[in-house]
Amino acid sequence: MMTQLGGFDPTGTKWQREAMVADQLAARGLTDQRVLSAMNVIPREHFIPAQLREHAYLDGALPIGDGQTISQPYTVAFMCEALHTTPTDRILEIGTGSGYGAAVLSQLAKEVHTIERIPELADAAAEKLRQLGINNVFVHIGDGTLGLPEAGPFDGIIVTAGGEQLPRCYVQQLKDGGRIVIP
């Protein structure tokens, strides 16, 4: 379900994405071609502050504001691969952050709902997704520890931040046979 991104041309970064996929992801054992292709399509630099864009494809997390970070590329790819997403899946992402993870998931699933507790981050992520022409991601503002029952049930739930225990409501919002990936 790879989509063309709404006219966004990240000039000069295609080779960096290709190197990231080869050197940071495939070389470390990730093998799901759909995930690797999604990581190769989505321009990570679009989701980070302008002053950090030269570091977009380094193997590490980067600050995005409000005390939050965009996850390391390997972490995003590893979690997406672990979720075993199919093209017909409806996915819930807990913790939108910059929107990068949701953008990657948009290439793997039919529909992605993502929830963020910080309104400014949610709004910025929604705008970045819109700019890329990604229209199968729905950004919600709220407490991710409650999940998103009004949009469920989901085939998969991916949680971008670890907690002390798995909230029971996540399991209740999964379809039978659904999957959860949580750090």
Catalytic center residues: 71
For 119, residues 6+ apart whose C-beta sits below 8 A from its C-beta are: 141
Q: Between β-strands 68-70 and 62-65, what pairing exists: parallel, antiparallel or unpaired?
A: antiparallel
d(CA 148, CA 31): 30
d(CA 91, CA 48): 23
In the structure encoding, which two tokens stand for residue 8, read together? 């966004």
d(CA 125, CA 131): 10
Q: Which residues are registered as beta bridge partners of 148?
A: none
**Counting beta carbons within 10 angstroms of the beta carbon of residue 65, is it exposed (0 to 12), middle (13 to 18) or buried (19 or more)?**
middle
Nearest to 100 by CA among 52, 41, 145: 41
